[in-house]
Chain A
């Protein structure tokens, strides 16, 4: 610490996977604050449309001309909220952050397979986040074509102010993000395949590692098509091509010279990434939940092998279901039937996985510490959010529900909620390993209830808004008679959203306070079995002095041992019988 160069190499440009993981987590949490601030503005608008806000008008004169939110500004808000939360919060904290931190420790490696590449990934990711934030300050403001950036809206500068400079910067930021995320995913796959400790067979890996492994393969295969689409969109925007722009398009009373392009082509390429991407986010959430659970149920996870097989099935199926985002695009009914069929097929392995999680709770004496509370929240949201997917995956029902708040409610519960709660569970659970101190339990429990209750309220109610026909992305519903009666519901949702955002300050206070003043943690405070708990908290650079020999799977709980009722993966068969 005293040596300046030492500090920079150790904490800034470090190649240590644990430092890089924590860097990702901190960056992602800062981005989450930005995303949450945008959500607050969105809910302020939807709760009180047309209400003048003089203070906001002074802070954001372009967004609030005359004190009332401009519709274009609302579009920029939802676009940036979605982009930030999907790519710069959940991807950074849960996938890259915890992926970096946990995977090498869990497989018994001294670092990632390519440590330098890892450092490069983080710094590109950092620049990408910075670039995205900068796009708020260019002329026309941030991108406003949705996180899905559908052309023509995203392709024509005159279509919406955000499609001027903002959209170009959005694409630049995404290009950097994709480069970084691909490198990071490649690293995780290589780590799992090439530097596992002796005895750590694939079928002894914790489910966390399996989920990161599957998610990373999906990312590697699904992101490049978005790169291709982004290149074509940039060409359409700046070089006069017509990949996505159709003939006869009139924008701002001007006929464009483009001919023959296909906006649907973008949708196909986007969702070829977009759908696997939701599993890239969701699977790690389920993985960490599965590995946190046994420390508080004191019994193995139920159906380890079936869960692994389900991951394979979900991974494979997720690559061929993208069309269910496009049922109303005029696709042939036969194509729609195919996409319905495979989408509903994907619910089979996912349901098995979910039932395995429920069955892991069966008959256990639950110890409801904060991480476990969040895991229960994960299971609850996964079950109830997943149910909505059955309706949306079915083309017939989706025709009615498409682009309504039903969809918004559904995906917030799944890639918003399951991942958010799993992220918190992971932070509370691995905080002692990362920083050597425990987080405060009382604040943690309060944080859970004040997160889960409003979260569920908001997005459960949004399903019903959708059933009443409320369309998403509209900045106000005041112009529609049939939606007048949803005023009250929107008000309740907004109030719950403010409660949800405020409750996160409990977490921030807990995080900072625990860093400094938290109870000092020993090596294995949760009496868990995976390899990182054999190391001091926090583990040194290079993790293991001598590479551990793995003797058993990660779920040896509920067996009498000298340590109590569990055996760490390195305990030899001579001392405790091996179950798997």
Chain B
């Protein structure tokens, strides 16, 4: 982050600068981290209760994890085409097309992930495991739900990034937008891996 360099820079207008948006995103992610940290500590406390009965988690979650990882790779590819040093103006159109396609793939995989999560909930309910069945299932539904809400928000951001690959002319602004999508999406991927490990291992 470039907090120090931005600190003393001159304000020309009220328009947002890239580094400000980036700072804003990191602070937002800090609050989201605290949210999931609180859920996690609650999980650890509640785990010690006498009525903790682990429930079987559906195997589709592994597929969902793979889909989300693939989606992160797609965003990374889109970002690679968008990075300023990789751009040669002669190949600009190639870079734009490749980046747009990669973003569309990432978006689609993100949607597939959500569908997969809903499928996991359906399978659990079919097996007779509901929200109040056991503290473990309560936490499973709540944590996956809270994560899914953030994924929905991130998909909106990815759509905004895709539009950026199509439309934003200035390479530096395009790269900045790509980098925001990348940070947010990888972050949520990491949160998922953490939550998945928490509910299946502990």
| Distance in angstroms between the alpha carbons of A109 and B11 in the assembled complex | 7
Pairs across A and B, CB under 8 Å, 14 listed: A110-B14, A111-B14, A190-B27, A193-B23, A194-B20, A220-B34, A221-B31, A223-B34, A224-B35, A225-B34, A243-B42, A260-B46, A261-B46, A262-B45
Identify which of residues 522-558 in chain A touch chain B, using a CB-to-CB cut-off of 8 Å.
542, 547
Q: Are B138 and A224 in contact (CB under 8 A)?
A: no
Q: Specify which of B31, B38, B51 is in contact with A269 (CB 8 Å cutoff).
A: B38
Q: How many residues of B contact A (CB 8 A)?
A: 40
CB distance from A546 to the nearest CB of B (A): 10
Q: Specify which of A115, A182, A228 is in contact with B42 (CB 8 Å cutoff).
A: A228
A-B Cβ contacts below 8 A, count = 126
Q: Are B30 and A243 in contact (CB under 8 A)?
A: no
Given contacts A225-B35, A228-B42, 16 further A-B contacts (CB under 8 A): A109-B11, A114-B24, A115-B14, A182-B31, A189-B27, A198-B8, A198-B10, A220-B31, A220-B34, A221-B34, A231-B142, A240-B132, A260-B46, A261-B49, A262-B46, A268-B41
CB distance from A69 to the nearest CB of B (A): 37
Q: Is B167 an interface residue (CB 8 A)?
A: no
B-side interface mostly: helix
Write out the residue numbers on chain B whose beta carbons fall within 8 Å of the beta carbon of A114. Answer: 16, 20, 24
> What 10 A-B pairs are tightest by C-beta distance, nearest first?
A260-B51, A225-B38, A228-B38, A240-B132, A224-B35, A224-B34, A260-B49, A241-B138, A259-B51, A194-B20
A224-B35, A265-B46 as given contacts; A193 in contact with B6, CB under 8 Å: yes
CB distance from B116 to the nearest CB of A (A): 23
Q: Is B32 an interface residue (CB 8 A)?
A: yes
* Beta-carbon nearest neighbor of A246 in chain B: B49
Write out the residue numbers on chain A whose beta carbons fall within 8 Å of the beta carbon of B52. Answer: 260
Q: Is A18 an interface residue (CB 8 A)?
A: no
Write out the residue numbers on chain A whose beta carbons fall within 8 Å of the beta carbon of B131. Answer: 235, 239-241
Identify which of residues 13-55 in chain B touch chain A, using a CB-to-CB cut-off of 8 Å.
13-14, 16-17, 19-20, 23-24, 27-28, 30-32, 34-39, 41-42, 45-46, 49-52
Task: Please encode chain A, from 197 to 219, with 1 for each CB lying within 8 Å of some chain B CB and 0 for all others.
Answer: 11111100000000000000000
Task: Please encode chain A, from 433 to 450, with 1 for each CB lying within 8 Å of some chain B CB and 0 for all others.
Answer: 000000000000000000
Q: Are B146 and A231 in contact (CB under 8 A)?
A: yes
Q: Is B126 an interface residue (CB 8 A)?
A: no
Q: Is B7 an interface residue (CB 8 A)?
A: yes
Identify which of residues 107-145 in chain B touch chain A, using a CB-to-CB cut-off of 8 Å.
131-132, 135, 138, 142
A114-B20, A220-B31 as given contacts; A242 in contact with B138, CB under 8 Å: yes
| Distance in angstroms between the alpha carbons of A194 and B138 in the assembled complex | 42
Q: Are A265 and B35 in contact (CB under 8 A)?
A: no
Q: Is B197 an interface residue (CB 8 A)?
A: no
**Using a CB–CB distance below 8 Å, which chain B residues touch chain A?**
3, 6-11, 13-14, 16-17, 19-20, 23-24, 27-28, 30-32, 34-39, 41-42, 45-46, 49-52, 131-132, 135, 138, 142, 146
Q: Specify which of B3, B11, B30 is in contact with A221 (CB 8 Å cutoff).
A: B30
Q: Are A232 and B42 in contact (CB under 8 A)?
A: yes
Q: Are B50 and A260 in contact (CB under 8 A)?
A: yes
CB distance from A463 to the nearest CB of B (A): 34
Write out the residue numbers on chain A whose beta carbons fall within 8 Å of the beta carbon of B9. Answer: 194
Write out the residue numbers on chain A whose beta carbons fall within 8 Å of the beta carbon of B6. Answer: 193-194
* Beta-carbon nearest neighbor of A219 in chain B: B31
* Beta-carbon nearest neighbor of B27 in chain A: A186
Write out the residue numbers on chain B whose beta carbons fall within 8 Å of the beta carbon of A228. Answer: 35-36, 38-39, 42
Write out the residue numbers on chain A whose beta carbons fall within 8 Å of the beta carbon of B16. Answer: 113-114
